[in-house]
Structure 1
Amino acid sequence: MKLTATTTTDISQHRRQAKRTSLAGFFGGALEYYDMYIYASASALVFSRVFFHDSGATGLLLSLGTYGVAYLARPLGGFLAGHFGDQFGRRNIMIVTLLVMGIATFLIGCLPAYDSIGIFAPILLVVLRLFQGLSVGGEAAGSTSLTLEHAPEGRRALYTSWMINGIWVGYILATLAFLAIATLPEQQLLTWGWRVPFWASALIVILGLIIRRTIEDPEVFTEQKDQIRQAKPPIVELLRHQPKDVIRVVFAAFLIVISSVVPVYGLSYATNVVGIPSNYMLWAAIFGYATALATQPLFAHLSDRIGRKPVLIVGNLIGAAAVWPYFWAIGDANIPMIFVGMFLCITIAFGCTNAVYPAFFSEMFNVRFRVSGMAIGLQLGIVLTGFAPSIIQAVSAANGNAWWPACLFTSAACVISAIAVSTGRETFRTPLEKLGHQPVKERDYEHEQAP
């Protein structure tokens, strides 16, 4: 009878931890991507005039380039988060990433403009943007691994998808913030108005820290923690046992390109080239993000039933096709069709892939180096996402400000991702303790530790 009571208590505690980690992932995703997207919006709308001497096409290109700089730091952030998360715990690294992002974002809101300190303004902007990249580089892998390892069997994608829903909430909050400040007179917008959304991120940091302090590392990790610490560094073990899976994740991560091309470059192209008022594009983005909040858990649940690969592949192929009518609608200034295109690109296509890739990528790797495997592969692949707007801007400018380079670039990225996903193994029915191709065997470590 006592055993039954203890077992019941353990099950109840496990369920509480699973819900807490999902909630922690939700708020972490909301903060990380609220911060990332207010930067994206500011780089498309105001940074070319605040931090760069040239406010024309060159300033816009430089501004979009600083948006991409964070993606250069993300692989390093993934490496650091993977190393410390795999060796010392997922919970600790999640607290660190939250603090780094929050502090960097708040300080961006405090930076003087180019007119005040000259070239030091964009330099400091780039430095803080790099810290944002370091933070977000480890957030997704750490949060996903922690949630996945606490989640009930058969519901891993659904639980990890709440981090992704948090990302969309962050996007919505960021877009609403810029809709609000866009009503300010230009002088106020360029002096203090754009700073308010950056300062407001402090509120999400405080809430996220309160929640993350209550979570614990999962049992599947703590049971092997001592062995992990005595073994070689996680990156060494990762490249020894699962190098092909790291490469697979790099190319599969191209699916995320659509998330920067459609809302970020689409906003820039619509407002700066076509002349569509920014509020139409911002409301279209909010529409896409809000409806994705409903579709993403459904797609995640579907992948828990039929598998990760079918949902990911179909989502990529829909995205490869849907981006064409979306940019045609922007080029034609057809507002209703812009909303339809946003729905197809973000709510449906990216909703499919975005809800499922965290579980799929994380499930590829053994618990001993799960954070490292997902973080490094994902962040190397996502570099393309960060520089997509500036690459497309350069090609478009060389071709009479055409919109087709955005479509061609995105379609190619989606097709490559679909091919990479198709080469992987299906993991949705694999028990947690058996995840990871060529699992690390105890005798490997015993041999390595032998004198």
Structure 2
Amino acid sequence: MSTTADAALVSEHSDYSNPDHREVRRVVFSGYLGCAIEFYDFLLYSTASALVFGPVFFGNLTPLMATIAAYATFAAGYVARPLGGIIFGHFGDKLGRKRMLVMTMTMMGIASTFVGLIPTPHSIGLLAPVLLLILRIVQGIAVGGEYGGALMMAVEHCDQKKRGFYASLIAIGAPTGTVLASLAFGTVRLLPDSQFLQWGWRVPFLLSALLLVLGLYIRARVSESPLFLEALKHEGEMSRFPLAQLLRYEWKAVILAVITAAGPLAVYIVGATFTQTYIGHLGFDSSVALFALAIANGVNLFWFPICAHLSDKYGRRPLLLVGFAMSILLVGPNFMLVSTGNPYLTMLAFWLLGSLAAGPIYGALGAFLSEKFSTRTRYTGTSIGYQLGSTLGAGLTPLIVTSIFASSGGTSISGVIAFLIAFCTVSMLCVVMSKETREADISK
């Protein structure tokens, strides 16, 4: 549907002050499903980095160094995410949110399917890890544009009193994708090691093609953001260079958004990557961590919206501060429980840090970030803020913490714990310095 057709639809059936609730539900479901598919694809790579890519693509290195090399390609996707935020944010603020979301989903689905088809270095030599790196960068660019756009569609369609709740329904696309990716990899991980490394790990990536078809069908049926169309109608065209306007007038909001997002993303990604490596290093079954991760994120499907509802009622800052404080307190106990090797204590560890503490943060974070920016720059600002935060927090963290652990000879986890606590503390201080945004008028 073109922007002109969308404008006619929104003009006839919807406006921001009196939203069409059926259309809001359609838009939110589309955003949720899109994020679930994209994070399924993206987090497949993180799990494969911990379990597969080292021995398959970097088998000439020692096991720990091969894992670090795999995490380096993993980090490349996060480095590319801000670029995706800039590109899709720019055109999303100029041409509309919907078109960009169709493009990001297509890029992600194709790249992930191709990862499952890459020949090994035994067949094509160094070209194999090079192709892996290129596809990872394409993934990063796609995700960089996806989250901000889906979030914009949700908060710009719904009414002010429910922004946090609807934003959280986009956010739970990430744990949904994590659940699907963890279950898919956990299932094929039950294969004998030789079959798993030879072909089993490819199956979850190839399933991305089916998810892509489903996602595109649903996404094509939603309308454009009414706030974007209203701004377009009054101004004739949006800002020619949203990024330049953002950096000139709203740069403080960008910095606060980056640092606020970095801490919790660092903690989250450690659970999806390094913790699995750590469990394997201790000699325990890594599939336990995969299923524990899936269970914790399954709880998040309900816990995040509950926390988001509380943020609509009491404010974003109180929820964020509670979540950060809990994360800081639970990082140490998390690794203590995991190091026991007991499956039930491992599940408890993932639930405490990856669900109980994460809920207040991710329940409020989406709305908190989007409410900081004007309609003219909201897609760009939210995307860049969140994606730069993901690069600093999630993209580099597996590489850093694995290197810290390796520097101790693989005998001490205290350096990793200290690093994560410091990261969360800095993010928490940014929330302390920020203003409450719950009552912000985002129609301007």
Selected match of 2:145 from 130, 138, 149:
138
1:426 is aligned to: 436
C-alpha distance in 2 between matches for 1:112 and 1:263: 25
C-alpha distance in 2 between matches for 1:336 and 1:191: 31
Q: Secondary structure of 2:41's match?
A: helix
C-alpha distance in 1 between matches for 2:229 and 2:11: 19
The answer to which of 52-61 and 132-141 deviates more is: 52-61
Write the deviation string for residues 9-67 of structure 1: whole angstroms up to 9, x where unpaired: 64797212211111011111111110111111111111111111325211111012211
C-alpha distance in 2 between matches for 1:342 and 1:204: 27
C-alpha distance in 2 between matches for 1:230 and 1:303: 31
The answer to which of 226-235 and 52-61 deviates more is: 226-235
Conserved 8 A contact 2:19-2:158: no
Conserved 8 A contact 2:53-2:70: yes
2:364 is aligned to: 356
The answer to which of 352-361 and 331-340 deviates more is: 331-340
Residues 245-264 of structure 1: pairs in structure 2 closer than 5 A: 245-254=253-262, 255-264=264-273
C-alpha distance in 2 between matches for 1:228 and 1:243: 25
The one-letter amino acid paired with 1:116 is: S
Deviation at 1:229, TM superposition (A): 3.0
1:392 is aligned to: 401
The answer to which of 188-197 and 217-226 deviates more is: 217-226
Conserved 8 A contact 2:14-2:226: no
1:185 is aligned to: 192
CA RMSD between the two structures: 1.8
C-alpha distance in 2 between matches for 1:166 and 1:383: 19
Deviation at 1:8, TM superposition (A): 10
The one-letter amino acid paired with 1:170 is: G
Conserved 8 A contact 2:120-2:128: yes
Pair 1:265 & 2:274 matched: yes
The answer to which of 332-341 and 257-266 deviates more is: 332-341
Pair 1:219 & 2:249 matched: no
Q: Indicate the percent of aligned positions where both proteins have the same amino acid.
A: 35
Write the deviation string for residues 219-240 of structure 1: whole angstroms up to 9, x where unpaired: 2111112537363300011112
Deviation at 1:190, TM superposition (A): 1.5
C-alpha distance in 1 between matches for 2:378 and 2:33: 22
1:207 is aligned to: 214
1:373 is aligned to: 381
2:4 is aligned to: none
Deviation at 1:150, TM superposition (A): 0.3
Q: Secondary structure of 2:289's match?
A: helix
Q: Secondary structure of 2:408's match?
A: coil
Relative to structure 1, the CA distance from residue 13 to residue 251 in structure 2 (aligned partners, 3 Å threshold; closer, same or farther) is closer
Conserved 8 A contact 2:49-2:273: no
Q: Secondary structure of 2:72's match?
A: helix
Q: Secondary structure of 2:20's match?
A: helix
C-alpha distance in 1 between matches for 2:87 and 2:236: 16
Deviation at 1:431, TM superposition (A): 3.0
C-alpha distance in 1 between matches for 2:28 and 2:436: 23
C-alpha distance in 2 between matches for 1:423 and 1:78: 25
TM-score scaled to structure 2, two decimals?
0.93
Tell me how many residue pairs correspond in the alignment. 428
Conserved 8 A contact 2:32-2:173: yes
2:5 is aligned to: none
1:437 is aligned to: none
TM-score scaled to structure 1, two decimals?
0.91
Deviation at 1:288, TM superposition (A): 0.8
1:410 is aligned to: 420
Selected match of 1:39 from 22, 45, 63:
45
Conserved 8 A contact 2:31-2:170: yes
Conserved 8 A contact 1:84-1:93: yes
Gaps of 5+ in 1: 1-5, 435-451
The one-letter amino acid paired with 1:421 is: V
1:175 is aligned to: 182
Q: Secondary structure of 1:110's match?
A: coil
Residues 36-435 of structure 1: pairs in structure 2 closer than 5 A: 36-52=42-58, 53-54=60-61, 56-225=63-232, 227=235, 229=237, 231-254=239-262, 255-271=264-280, 273-384=281-392, 385-401=394-410, 402-434=412-444
Relative to structure 1, the CA distance from residue 414 to residue 181 in structure 2 (aligned partners, 3 Å threshold; closer, same or farther) is same
Q: Secondary structure of 1:155's match?
A: helix
The one-letter amino acid paired with 1:114 is: P
Deviation at 1:334, TM superposition (A): 3.7
Q: Secondary structure of 2:161's match?
A: coil
Conserved 8 A contact 2:148-2:379: yes
Q: Secondary structure of 2:190's match?
A: coil
The one-letter amino acid paired with 1:414 is: C
Write the deviation string for residues 113-151 of structure 1: whole angstroms up to 9, x where unpaired: 111111111111000000000000111111101110001
Conserved 8 A contact 1:43-1:64: yes
Conserved 8 A contact 2:108-2:138: yes
The one-letter amino acid paired with 2:353 is: C
Conserved 8 A contact 1:260-1:389: yes
Q: Secondary structure of 2:443's match?
A: helix
Conserved 8 A contact 2:47-2:272: no
